Structure 1
C-alpha cells in the first residue's frame, strides 16, 4: 500500500465513475483500475462492488476511505512543513462567489511566501462548500455565520471557523445612474421615495446559500420598502452589469464599492440594516503551516 494508490483510491471513491477519477488524477482509466487492483491485493480484500458502469464502495472501502484521507492529509502536512517555502502547495478554497471575490486577493497574499503555490477558487453555495471540505476536495470553505450556526451532517470534529469580518449590505448604483448625480463627498443621499422610483436588479436565490427566496434573496426588506425588480439573475457578473450600466440599483455587500464605477446610496429614512458575518472553515488540527498562515492572513483586517 502506497500513498499514490491511496490518492487514486480516494479520487475513485468520491467520483461517479472510473473515467471521472482518471480525469481528476490526470491518468488513463486503465492506470486507475490497476492502482485500485494493486491496493486491493495489498489489503487482500475488495474495496468496491463493481458493475458495468461504475464502482461502488463496499463496507471495507468505506472503512478505508476515512483512514486514507487522514493519512494523505498527514502526508501532505509533513511534506509542506518539511519543505517550507519550497513546497508546491495546491490551495483550494470553495464558497459563494461573493465571498471568494471579497477574500480571493487576501488568499493570494497569504501564499506569496510559497512561490510554487497554486490557488484555486471554486464558486459554490455554502452547503456544497462544506460538503466539499468534508470530502477533502477543498482545503477551506468560506461561508456566512448562518451556515456555521446550522452545523449540518457535514460538520467534522477538528474543524475551526475563523472569523473573517462583517459584511454590511449597501444600496449600490452605477456612476451613470440618475441618482448618482446627487453624489456629495463620495456618497449619494436619497430618500426611500426617491430610490423606489427606480428599477432594481436582484438574484432570485440567495447568493450565499442558494435558497430560492425571490425578492428576499438579497436582504432588502421589501415588506417595508417594496421595490420594482426588473432584472433577475443568479449570475453575479450579470447583476453587476445591470448596475454598472445605470439600468438598475442593487443591494450588495459594501466591499462591492471597491469597483471604480459603483457608488453607494445612503437611504436617509431606511429603518433596517442587513449584515452578514463571514468565516473560513478549515481543519486546524491536521492543517499544515501554510493553512495556519492563510487563516491568520484572512482574519487580519485589511
Structure 2
C-alpha cells in the first residue's frame, strides 16, 4: 500500500509592506542623496586627516625632540633641526577645557530644568532665546570682554584664592600674574560662558521630550515638582545632557581667538595651576600664522593640529560610548 504524499506547506507570507511596493523615482533619488551625503562627510573627514598627516610627516622627520613629551619652547628657525612638542599644549588645552566644562555643566542643567519645568511660558521663551543668543557673540568679543572687563572684576576673588588656598596646586602661584588676569582662571570662565548655550540648548530639548504621562503620573501620586524632575525628567534626559556636555567640550577644545587674546604666552613650564598661562593647540597655531610660508615650519604646527583633530575624535567617541551605555542601562 503506497503512502500518501505529504501535504505541501504553504509559502510564508511576507510581513514587509514595502517588499512588493513600487519604488518611486523620488524615493530612489532621496535615498541616493542621503547615502551620498553620508559618504561625502566620511570622505571629507578622511581627506582632512590624510592632508594633515601628509603635511606633518616632513616636519616631524626634522624634529630633534620627542614630539609627545617635549614641552619646551618651539624653535623652528632652523628647519634642518627643529625643536617642538605638544606636551604643554595638550595639558593647557585639556585643563582649560575641563575647567570650563565643570563651570558650565551645573549652570546649564539648572537653566534647562528651570525653563522646562518651572518657568512660565511667557518667561521661558524669551529667556531661552537670550541664552541661545550667547552663541551668536563672536569669539573675539568674548576675548576682549574677558581680558578688559571680566579679569579686573574677578581680580579680588583670584587674589583671595591664591593667598588663602595657595597650598593647593590648583590655586598656587603659577607662571603668570594673578593680578594681570591672563590666566587659565579667566580663560576658563570665559570659555564656560561660550559653551553654555550649546549644553543648555541640547539639554533643554531632551528634557522637553520627557513623556507627559510619566510626569502626570508622578504628580498624581503626590510628588512635588522637584521630585518629578528628580524621578522622571533627569533619568530620561541624562544621556542628552551628557551629549550636550561633550559637544560643549568639543567646542572648548577648538576655541582659538578668545583664548589667544586672554592667555599670556610664557617661557615657563605648565604647572597645573589655574593661575598658569600658556598656549592651547588652537591658539598656538593661530599665533604662528606668519610662519606658514615655509612648509617645514607650517608642518610643525600642522602636526599639532593633527593631534587636536584626533583628540576631538576621541572625545566624541567617549561621549557616544557613555550615552550608549546609559541607554542600555535604562532599557
Q: Note whether the superposition's TM-score is higher than 0.5.
A: no
Larger radius of gyration: 2
Normalised by the length of structure 2, the TM-score is 0.20
Normalised by the length of structure 1, the TM-score is 0.21
Q: Counting strand residues as a fraction of each chain, which structure ranks higher?
A: 1
Which structure has more relative contact order (CA 8 Å, sep 6+)? It is 2
Q: Counting helix residues as a fraction of each chain, which structure ranks higher?
A: 2
